[in-house]
Structure 1
Amino acid sequence: MDGYNMTTLMKRLEAATSRLEDLVVVAQGQSSNQWSSNIVGDSVKTSAADTPAMATPGAVATKAPVSDIEPSGSIPASLTALNGKLDTLVELSKAADLLVGEQAVLFKNAAEEANKIVLLASRAQKAEIGSQDFMDLLKPLADKIAAVVDVRESNRTSPATNQLSTIAEGVPALGWVSTPAPADYVQDFKDSAQFYANRVLKDNKDHGEWVKAFLSYLNELKAAVTNDFSDGMKWNANGKPLREVLSADTSSGSSSKASTSAGGPPPPPPPPPPSVETLTAAASKSSTPASGPTGMAAVLADLNKGTAITSGLRHVDRSAKKEAPKAPPKPGGLRKTKPSATAAPPAAVARKPRIELENNRWIIENYVDEHEIVIDADLSQAILIDNCQQCTIQVKGKATSITITKCAKTGVLVYTLVSGVEIINSSNFGLQITGTVPSLTIDNSHDGAVYLSKEALDIDIYTSQTAAINVNIPTGEPGDYDERPLPEQIMHKVVGAKISSSAVNAADK
């Protein structure tokens, strides 16, 4: 081959590589997604089967037989049309606050991942919700949603905490891809975001456009899923099994990466949006695939099962009893120990989990990611739940009281109590009452959801130093709730020689 032909071939290879990199981008328009999927699929087949023929210019354009190409699938135009709103939201967020701008970029990444799930589902046969393949499909999205929420959790003292909370409360709406009723799912989280959006409008009147942009995106997302996904995710009856589609997607990302380094000349700079290889790398980063929803999503999912929550629970029988030599503490109380003057600060190591009955008090402590704990209690027993993370605990029978302290992302299902429930120094908790409980005390805790039964509507709720606590009141059919936020502001007035105080309910403004 003469020098002229070799130079021409190298230029054509470089141009083809550049096109592939520009096209393999998630959440572009509907036509670009179809075109990108076909070209990436072709490049994988070409790199695997036609590598020896790469010495001739014609081999670059060689296309695999149509029967061997995976169905490309597509993203409805109603979803791709929202990309412009995401760009607007990111621009307004950066102008409002640096942290809000960073969080908005992560929100956009999560939205693009949701669109990618739609694309992959349109290529695959229907997978059972809860199956391992289905969870592997959702894991990258769950990770990106968690990253958005973590921005709020790590910056609660930021002046922009209301803006961060607005996005953090709204981002779970992108999980509509996992539900059979997407429109209602989006609406629920839009309502949660609205609570903090109202605070933004109250405290920062110049952020009205930002609030409008975020809520408008959620409204149009609801309209899009109502129009195209009214019954849930759309699958391809003639497609391949989901496992094959996921494997092919990972392989295409690897092949695209390899093609950019082949042939000698330096690769062109990557395009600004994230590529498929970047997105799939996050999914393959962990060697152990996720077995289901994680964090608060798992807690709420367990609580929403109602009576079905008892399936698969591990029963703790009387053999777990341990008679303590000391006198039993008061129900609901915490044992205080005086630290040694020379003792070093406690190391951040995991303590051994345990479930024990000491005299008349059950102690459940130090559990992490455990969702199969059930306790049989009676009238003479109190329950202490301490330092549990991402757990679901069920208390059966009629107990005296329950104290929940230093727990995070933990849900507790309660039947009936003689005294009440105390929640102290906890966050992201869930409490469901299916019987009657006289009182609930929440102290120095935030981000909690309380679900009442019709028999527990006369409960007395006391709060101190709390934030983002919502009480769900049953309405109509079983499982239907009306969510009401607890007031966080107190207004004080001087009336004569006395102080008159009243709660300020932001939801009623």
Structure 2
Amino acid sequence: MADLQNLVQRLETAVGKLELFAGGSGAGSCAAGDTAQFVKAYDALLNGAVGEFLKISKEIGGDVEKQAGLLLAGLNIQRELLVKASQFQQPDEKDLSALLAPLSKQIQTVQDFREKNRSSKQFNHLSAISESVPALGWVAMAPKPGPYVKEMTDAATFYTNRVLKEYKDVDKKHVDWVRSYLSIWTELQAYIKEHHTTGLSWRKTGPKAGPSTSAPSAPCAPRAGPPPPPPGGPPPPPPPAPASASAPSDDSEARSQLFAQLNQGENITRALKHVPEDMKTHKNPALKSQSGPIRSGPKPFTSPKPTNICSPAAKPAPKKEPPVLELEGKKWKVENHDNASNLVISDTELKQVVYVYKCVNSTLQVKGKINSITIDNCKKLGLVFEDAVGIVEIINSRDVKVQVLGKVPTISINKTDGCQIYLSKDSLSCEIISAKSSEMNISVPGSGGEFSEFPVPEQFKTVWNGDKLVTTVTEIAG
């Protein structure tokens, strides 16, 4: 029996080796022509869209060329992971984290380059790459890696639009740069849809991958020279992992008391008074019926009570994800909170960002100076923050109220219905950028301490003047 078992093991090993070197099933040298099909497809992406992007980046030069080199390094690290996936079975979770660590580190390096060059004349270019480079983390996303890449690509739109606006009539090369950069992620989505629809495709047989498995030979795609040495910075964050359900460590009672004091408005919203009907500037009288607690008293953000809305057709209830409030790397994650009126982030640093996702009937306070804040897919959310050195974005949301206590340079509203912004005296120079949104109102403090509310235009008129298109705001009499 022992001899028979040994024979069976030897046969299994032999079969594994045959499968490994069968045409199209494993990754080896490109000359031998036995590279896995999905690795070959990835090489085509590197030679095509990525190659074009690197060429234009080199022509532009400066910080753009340097950061493009860092992005290329991340793409090459990802290729090495794809080759391992074609050679080995999916590893255990612990080993998978170790395999993903180099890619996670390189993503952080690309983002750190933007942070260390905020004074660069090419800052919008750097920001476009920095905001979307987490898309390389699709290899750890299942079962929807493709939509994750699209979500990260959309995050770059604000900055790519800025590049287009700045250079469209000045230097066409930068317009081509935007086109070539976005095409990388568009083609990557198509690649994922064809080869890794529900997640990274690992080999079905053979040994499991691990940190000690040998790295593949140099990639088939030509490298555009060695990337510049990555700038120094803080230790890299851990590789992407499923969101933790851990709760914040702050004492719940103390946090509730703190937020209750904020809602009293002392030294913050004391001057917030009711705006009489004859002082409102709505272009549509129907909007007057949407007044909420934030307009009628010193409590700008009282979490509204949930209402029962009967849908015409019964649908299965979506799976309830656990609430999250935690710091992961330099990102504060606030996710899946429902009817939470005492969410507070107090221990902040300038390099940190806040990402608020799928929160309903909740209120969040962010203390201190933060880099940027993103509100995504939220309903009836109230946000109070002190200072943001970057952008505050509101995306795919409804009935959001935001109060600025200090300064913020830019607020972006995209695909959002119902957004009330309260500016402070220090933030009156803030740029408000909106697209595909409705029911947006900006309240500004006056000399008498009262807030005056102004609607953001939603309707425009465009005419041809014989030379070019001229667009003006259309007022609707009501």
Matched position secondary structure for 1:458? strand
CA drift of 1:38 comes to 9.0
C-alpha change, 1:411 and 1:204, in structure 2 (3 Å) is closer
Task: State the 1:248 CA deviation.
Answer: 2.6
In structure 2, what is the Cα distance between the partners aligned to 1:433 and 1:170?
Answer: 18
TM superposition shift of 1:233: 0.8
Count of residue pairs brought into register by the alignment: 331
* Structure with bigger gyration radius: 1
Change (3 A) 1:132 1:430: farther
Question: Does the 8 Å CA contact 1:190/1:215 hold for their aligned counterparts?
Answer: yes
Matched, 1:153 2:134: no
Query: Which of 381, 386, 390 in structure 2 is aligned with 1:446?
Result: 390
Give the Cα–Cα distance (whole angstroms) in 2 for the partners of residues 210 and 374 of structure 1.
Answer: 37
Q: Distance in 2 between matches of 1:193 and 1:159?
A: 17
Alignment of 1:139 with 2:133, yes or no, is no
Match of 2:296 in 1: none
1:111 is aligned to 75
User: Is 1:313 aligned to 2:254, yes or no?
Assistant: no
Residue matched to 2:66: 102
- Name the SS of the counterpart of 1:231 in structure 2: coil
Residue from 398, 406, 409 that aligns with 1:466? 409
1:218 to 180, 185, 188: 185
* AA in 1 matched with 2:433: P
Aligned counterpart, 1:233: 200
| Residue 330 of structure 1: how far off its partner (Å) | 8.6
3-state SS of the aligned residue for 2:190? Answer: helix
1:313 counterpart letter in structure 2: A
After superposition, the C-alpha distances for 1:405-458 in whole angstroms (9 at most, x for unaligned) are: 8442345687756x87466521144567977445645643424555787xxx33
Q: 2:433 aligns with which of 477, 482, 487?
A: 487
Does the 8 Å contact 1:415/1:436 carry over to 2?
A: yes
Aligned to 2:164: 201
C-alpha change, 1:203 and 1:501, in structure 2 (3 Å) is: farther
Evaluate the alpha carbon distance shift between residue 332 and residue 452 of structure 1 in structure 2; reply closer, same or farther with a 3 A threshold.
farther
Quote how far apart the aligned CAs of 1:401 are: 8.1
Q: Deviations over 1:453-481 (max 9, x none)?
A: 7xxx333335553337566759xxxxxxx
Of 35, 39, 45, 1:76 maps to 39
Counterparts of 2:101 and 2:91 in 1: how far apart (Å)? 15
Q: Distance in 1 between matches of 2:343 and 2:188?
A: 44
Distance 2:161 2:206 in 1: 45
Alignment of 1:7-18 (within 5 A): none
Structure 1 position 189 matched with structure 2 position 148: no
Shift of 1:184: 1.3
Structure 2 counterpart of 1:87, one-letter code: G
Against the structure 1 CA distance between its residues 488 and 210, is the aligned structure 2 distance closer, same or farther, given a 3 Å change threshold? same
**Cα distance change, pair 164–504 in 1 and its aligned pair in 2 (3 A):** farther
Q: CA RMSD of the aligned region, Å?
A: 5.2
SS in 2 for 1:487: strand
1:77 partner amino acid:
K
- Per the alignment, residue 370 of structure 2 pairs with 426
Give the alignment partner of residue 247 of structure 1, picking from 212, 217, 221.
212
Q: CA 1:406–1:79 in structure 2 vs 1: closer, same or farther (change >3 Å)? A: same
Q: Is the contact made by 2:414 and 2:434 (CA closer than 8 Å) also made in structure 1? A: no
User: Following the alignment from structure 2 to structure 1, what is the Cα–Cα distance between the partners of residues 263 and 147?
Assistant: 45
CA contact (8 A) 1:91 1:101 kept: no
Which residue matches 2:29?
Answer: 35
1:401–1:420 CA contact under 8 A, matched in 2:
yes
In structure 1, runs of 5+ residues without a counterpart are 1-29, 40-70, 257-270, 283-287, 303-308, 336-371, 376-384, 475-484, 490-499
- Given the superposition, is the C-alpha separation of residues 313 and 38 from structure 1 closer, same or farther in structure 2, using an over 3 Å criterion? farther
User: Which residue does the alignment assign to 1:177?
Assistant: 139
User: In structure 2, the residue corresponding to 1:235 is in which secondary structure?
Assistant: coil
TM-score normalised according to structure 2 size: 0.54
Q: Which amino acid letter does the alignment assign opposite residue 240 of structure 1?
A: P
Give the distance between the partners of 1:247 and 1:113, measured in 2 at CA: 16
Give the Cα–Cα distance (whole angstroms) in 2 for the partners of residues 238 and 231 of structure 1. Answer: 19
* TM-score, scaled relative to structure 1: 0.51
Q: 1:47-86, aligned counterparts within 5 Å?
A: 75-84=38-47, 85-86=49-50
CA contact (8 A) 2:25 2:36 kept: no
Aligned residue identity for 1:465? V
Larger helix share, 1 or 2: 1
